[in-house]
Structure 1
Amino acid sequence: MARDKVKRNVVTLCSVPKGKDGRPSKALTFAQAESVLKAAEDSRMHGYVVLSLLTGARTEELRALTWDHVDLEGDKDAVPPIPPHVAVWRSVRAGGDTKTRKSRRTLALPKRCVDALQTQWAQQQREREAAGKTWKESGLVFASKVGTALDPSHVRRDFRNAIKDAEGVDAGEWTPRELRHSFVSLLSDNGIPLEEISRLVGHSSTAVTEAVYRKQIRPVLQGGAVAMDRIFDA
């Protein structure tokens, strides 16, 4: 059309098909969150559930998390002191990049996360020994029983199995990504400012956080690891 080769834009003759409605997002209440954590305690998914719910990391970020990006001790003598933390620098997306540049972040770990990751490490050592020569070393924090990367469908299945006995929660209606929604909701309920929540979840701006989590952000808003320790009374 720009060069006068076509007199009419044929695209205007096409009707745009209507897509299916997206699955509405939801978040766990505090009581449900406690129930989910308790139900998952004895499962292989416990560390995954705790880290996702208490740090707000994306499921694709947790699946790519490696032990060399986990520090369970920190450095109390540093100035300022360095708390236990995880470096969320990669994801399972093409090329291994996080969703956006600001998604690359280092998150302090609540004590409950430190405990869960210590248990996760011990569990993985036992699985490595049991697997013997079939073990595939990947360095992943959350891997299969032979060390290979987790498939999203397996994560979803194992997550639902892990929380099937959670009181007040229908496991079949929840997915791992909604733990991140719950993280946002719990922080918002407890007066954490939107700007801080936006940084913790790795959004480029508060506008993105408001758009994505508009149902989880409370109208009146008043970091992260300290708040979660207080919320769950670690």
Structure 2
Amino acid sequence: MSETPKRARRAGHGEDTIYWDASKNRYVGAVSLGYAPNGKRRRPKVYGKTKTEVRQKIRDLKKEVQSGVKAPANYTVSDAVNDWLERGLKGRDAKGTVGKNRSMANKHLIPFIGKAKLRDLSADDVDDWLDDRAAFLATRSLRDLLAILRRSIEHAQRRDKAARNVALLVTAPEGRPGRPSKALTLKQAEAVLTAARPSRLYAYLVLSLLSGVRTEEARPLTWDHVFLEAENGVPPHIAVWRSVRKHGETKTRRSRRTIALPQQVVDVLEEHKRWQMQERASRGMEWSPTGRVFTTRSGEPLDAANVRRDFKAIVKKAGLAPEWTPRELRHSFVSLLSDHGIPLERIAQLVGHSSQATTEAVYRKQLRPVITQGAEAMDVIFALRREAIDHEA
């Protein structure tokens, strides 16, 4: 005679229960979490294919409750990233910092792990995602992507939407070799300036190449910060006091600097100023002594896309590969000065680095041993070219 199976013990009041739900084809775990302030019993449910899975989810849920975190069950990685982009970067430049992070997230993060529930995301998931992207992105880009995920989850943690940050357990892998920044040789620099001569970008490129200002510092430059005449023993100079960053701040405190101008830059800017005044007058527009030095034809500020597009056409005309970028004019400035024997500490001052160690780290492939000093190095370097232009005129 077979033994009648014992009926499962009914869970006592306040205990957790696990049972099979045929309609959902899943095990259900009912968790007892006491009572809400309104007196209603708090008994959330979790689901799983096995009892073991449900027990683990019950333990995880209780840990979240003990830590004070109530991670929403349907809160995804995409939700976390978008919340961080919308709320975690307040005060940052919309086109710069925010735009760059949003573009990277939309291309390389959200399409791949965006649908994952944040509470279920594991370090292995993050590792697998980064390993997959490593076949397409440079190491620097992979590190930036991981930083976006880390900051997004951290933002979610501050709002009690995540219990832990699994992205902190992961290290970005090595990716594809990035294209190192290059520096124009003197011959290439001369070719670029010759090709740019008929362009409205000519003065912009001359200033960038011969003074080392960043493109983000040249675009917002105004005429009241440009001094083309020597006065009281002070040579012609520009005051690099702002950039296109949020609130006009320069990249670092040392980036806020005053730079003496080579004579060739003075000549070009004087010509550019006369031309700009004539252009404004012909269009019925008023020229302002505090207006921007470099603008579009309609008088609007230049943006990075304007400069990149026009520069690409100029380097192509100069017979160079089209992948050269405007920021490499600054690398070229450093390289030409170093080739001319200007000390590293002087170059660091001119480009606005906080220390010569930064200059050496960023531009180490272009730097040469120090030989001599020279305050008017660029006038000497480009002297032959200026004489050739004068002779043509």
* Shared fold (TM-score, shorter chain, > 0.5): yes
The amino acid that maps onto 2:340 is N
1:1-234 equivalences in 2 (<5 Å): 5=67, 12-13=123-124, 14-15=126-127, 17=130, 20-21=137-138, 22-75=178-231, 78=232, 81-132=233-284, 139-167=291-319, 169-170=320-321, 172-218=322-368, 220-222=369-371, 226-233=376-383, 234=386
Deviation at 1:85, TM superposition (A): 0.3
Could you tell me how far apart the structure 2 residues matched to 1:106 and 1:117 are? 16
> Could you say if the C-alpha distance between residues 108 and 148 of structure 1 is closer, same or farther in structure 2, counting changes exceeding 3 Å?
same
Contact 1:108/1:225 (8 A) holds in 2: no
- Name segments (4+ residues, structure 1) moved above 3 Å: 10-14, 135-138
Instruction: Report SS of the residue matched to 1:173.
Output: coil
CA apart distance, 1:126:
2.2
Q: Name the amino acid aligned to 1:104.
A: R
Q: Which amino acid aligns with 2:307?
A: V
Alpha-carbon distance change, 204 to 11 in structure 1, aligned in 2, over 3 angstroms: farther
**CA distance in structure 1 between the aligned counterparts of 2:267 and 2:345, rounded to whole angstroms:** 28
| 1:187-227 C-alpha deviation (Å, 9 max, x unpaired) | 11111111000000000011111111122212x12377500
Cα distance in 1 for residues equivalent to 2:283 and 2:315: 26
**Range with bigger deviation, 10-19 or 174-183:** 10-19
Q: Distance in 2 between matches of 1:185 and 1:118?
A: 27
Q: Give yes or no for contact 1:66–1:140 (8 Å, CA) kept in 2.
A: yes
| TM-score normalised by the chain length of structure 1 | 0.86
Q: Distance in 1 between matches of 2:291 and 2:247?
A: 17
Instruction: Tell me how far apart the structure 2 counterparts of residues 136 and 83 of structure 1 sit (CA, whole Å).
Output: 25
**Could you tell me which amino acid in structure 2 is paired with residue 63 of structure 1?**
R
1:11 shift after superposition: 6.8
* Amino acid corresponding to residue 102 of structure 1 in structure 2: R
**Whole-Å Cα distance in 2 between the matches of residues 38 and 59 of structure 1?**
20
- The 8 Å contact of residues 109 and 225 in structure 1, kept in 2 or not, is answered as no
Alpha-carbon offset, residue 12 of structure 1: 4.7
Q: Cα distance, 1:35 vs. partner?
A: 1.1
For 1:73 and 1:64, the matched residues in 2 are separated by 21
Amino acid in structure 1 at the alignment position of 2:196: A
**Residue 109 of structure 1 aligns to which amino acid in structure 2?**
L
Q: Report how far residue 163 of structure 1 moved.
A: 3.6
Deviations 1:9-59 (A, max 9, x none): x87554272562233200100111111111111211110110000000000
Question: What is the CA–CA distance in structure 2 between the aligned matches of 1:43 and 1:224, rounded to whole Å?
Answer: 31
Distance, in Å, in 2 between the alignment partners of 1:136 and 1:116 is: 18
Closer/same/farther in 2, CA of residues 174 and 207 from structure 1, 3 Å limit: same
Unaligned runs of 5+ in 2: 1-62, 69-120, 139-177, 387-393
Q: Distance in 1 between matches of 2:280 and 2:211?
A: 27
* Pair member with larger Rg: 2
Amino acid at match of 2:259: L
User: For residue 221 of structure 1, what is the amino acid of its counterpart?
Assistant: V
Q: In 1, Cα distance between the equivalents of 2:247 and 2:272?
A: 27
Q: Secondary structure at the match of 1:43?
A: coil
Whole-angstrom CA distance in 1 between matches of 2:239 and 2:374: 15
Which one scores higher on RCO, CA 8 angstroms, separation ≥ 6? 1
Q: CA deviation at 1:132?
A: 2.0
For the residue of structure 2 that corresponds to 1:27, the secondary structure is: coil
Q: Distance in 1 between matches of 2:229 and 2:265?
A: 12
Tell me if the contact between 1:58 and 1:180 (Cα under 8 Å) persists in the aligned partners.
Answer: yes
Report the residue type matching 2:342 in the other structure: I
After superposition, give the CA deviation of every residue in 1:87-134 in whole Å (9 maximum; x if it has no partner).
00010001100000000000000011001101111121122123325x
Q: Distance in 2 between matches of 1:209 and 1:109?
A: 21
Q: State whether residues 110 and 225 of structure 1, in contact with CA within 8 Å, keep that contact through their aligned partners in structure 2.
A: no
